[in-house]
Amino acid sequence: MTEVLIVGGAVMGASVAFWLTRMDPGLRVTVVEPDPSYATSSTALSAAGIRSQFTTEVNVAISRFGIEFIRDFARHTGAAGGVADLGLKENGYLFLTGTETGALQLENLAAMQRGLGAATQVLDPAALAARWPWMALDDIVAGSYGPRDEGFFDNMGLLSGLRNAARAAGAVWLRDRVTAFERDGDRVAAVVLEAGGRRQADVFVNCAGPRAGALMRTMALDLPVEPRKRTIFFVDAPKARHPGTPLVVDPSGIWFRPEHGQWLAATVPATDGPCEPDDFDPQDDLWEDHVWPALYARAEGFGEAKVMRQWAGHYAFNTLDQNAILGRNPQVPNLYHANGFSGHGLQQAPAVGRGIAEQIVHGDWVTLDLSPLGVQRVLDAQPFAEAAIV
C-alpha cells in the first residue's frame, strides 16, 4: 500500500489529504501536525478573503474553483465534513487606483478576469460614489470591483470540514513535529519526528506554511519561502458602519473590510522582511502611523475609530515571485510542495489540494493545469510574478 506523509495539517495539508482519500481510497495518508489548536497557523490568522482579481490567469482559475467549492462546501465534503455552510459574504473586492496608468491596467486585468468567468467591472469616480457615497474619492481615478464570486468566508470551517472528511475516509492526523527530512540520493527516505524516531513513506508533501523553507534546509535544499509578519487590526468605528462594503485595497497600501459591523484593516510594513518563526507580537505602531490616517483620509467616520484588538500572522512569503510553489520537486521526485502562498493561500486550498492529489495519484495535473506555479521555475530562478499581492 502506498504511504503518503503530509507535513503540516492546516488548510493545505487537510485539502491534500481530503482529495487524496477521494481519488484513491487505497492510499495510506498520514498528516503530521504539532498543534491541534492551529493557534499560530496562517490559516487561523488569515483575513479569510477570496477574489477573482489576480494578475495571472492561473490564479484567477484557482479562485474560480475555490468559490464554487466554498459555496457548495457541504456537498463536496458530505456529512462527514460536519460543516453545513462557510458563511460566504459576497461583498466583493475593490481595488482603487489614483493614476490613469493604474486605471488602464485595471481595465486590461478586468478583461482577462472576465474571459475566465469573473464579473470584474472597472468603475469611474461617479459610479464609485453612487455605490459608496461615504467614501472620499478626490484622489481616485478608478476602482476595479467584483460584484459576485468575491468576499469573505469561515476560514476555520474550511479547515475543519476538509480535515473531518479526510479523517472519516481514513487519513490519520499524527500529533508531532517534523524536525528534519532525510534524503537518500534523489529521494526523500524519511522524516525525523520531535517525539523520537523517524517515519518512512513513499511520498512526502510539504505543507508546513511559513516554516516550509526552513524544513527544506534540513536536507540542504533551497525553497525561497520565509515567514513575514502581517498585523491585522479589528476596529470599531461607530460613525462608519457600512457592512456591505467590499474588501477595499487602497492606493495608500492599506486594506480594510467589514467584519460583523466593525472592520478589519491592515497594511504592509514599510520595512518588510523575514521574521522569527515564533514571533507573533503585533506591530502596534502601524495603526497610528499608517492604517488610521489612511482610513480617515478615505472616510471621515473613521476619525473616531477604536482598535478593539489586533493580531499578527505570518505570510509564507515566496521571495522569488510572491506566488505559490506547487507540485513535484524534480530534485527529489517523491517530494511534493504546497508552499509560498504569500497571503492568498486560503482561497487556493481547494484547487491546490486537488492538483497535488492529481499529481500523486495520476502523475500529472488533470482538471486544472497548475504548471506555471510548478517547482521548475524556482529551480531556474525564472519568476512568475503575481502582482496583486494584498
Ligand X SMILES: Cc1cc2nc3c(=O)[nH]c(=O)nc-3n(C[C@H](O)[C@H](O)[C@H](O)COP(=O)(O)OP(=O)(O)OC[C@H]3O[C@@H](n4cnc5c(N)ncnc54)[C@H](O)[C@@H]3O)c2cc1C
160 lies in the site for ligand X, by CB under 6 A: no
Instruction: Identify how many contiguous H helices and E strands the chain contains and give both numbers.
Output: 12, 19
Rounded to a whole number of angstroms, the minimum distance from the CB of residue 294 to ligand X is: 17
Region near ligand X per CB under 6 A, out of 2-10, 98-106, 302-310, 371-379: 2-10
Q: Which residues pair with 175 in a beta bridge?
A: none
Q: Which of 2, 24, 30, 34 binds ligand X (CB under 6 A)?
A: 34
Alpha helices in 231-368 (DSSP H): 285-286, 292-298, 349-362
| Nearest by Cα to 322 from 55, 14, 12, 65 | 55
354 lies in the site for ligand X, by CB under 6 A: no
Give the CA angle between residues 198, 202, 203 to the nearest 5°. 95
341 lies in the site for ligand X, by CB under 6 A: yes
Pairing relationship of beta strands 178-184 and 187-193 according to DSSP bridges: antiparallel
Beta-sheet strand order (sheet of 93-97):
121-123, 142-145, 93-97, 247-249, 254-259, 262-267, 225-236, 306-318
Cell numbers that stand for 345 in this block: 493561500
346 lies in the site for ligand X, by CB under 6 A: yes
Region near ligand X per CB under 6 A, out of 123-131, 290-298, 337-345, 364-372: 337-345
For residue 262, which amino acid is it?
Answer: Q
Rounded to a whole number of angstroms, the minimum distance from the CB of residue 174 to ligand X is: 9
7 lies in the site for ligand X, by CB under 6 A: yes
Q: Which of 58, 60, 70, 215 binds ligand X (CB under 6 A)?
A: 215
- Residue numbers 295-324 binding ligand X by CB under 6 A: 313-315
Rounded to a whole number of angstroms, the minimum distance from the CB of residue 283 to ligand X is: 11
Residues in contact with ligand X, counted by CB under 6 A, come to a total of: 39
Report whether 150 contacts 51 (CB < 8 A). yes
- Residue numbers 161-200 binding ligand X by CB under 6 A: 177-178
Q: Using CB under 6 A as the criterion, which residues of the chain lie in contact with ligand X when the complex forms? A: 7-13, 32-35, 38, 41-43, 45-49, 177-178, 207-211, 215, 230, 232, 313-315, 341, 343-347
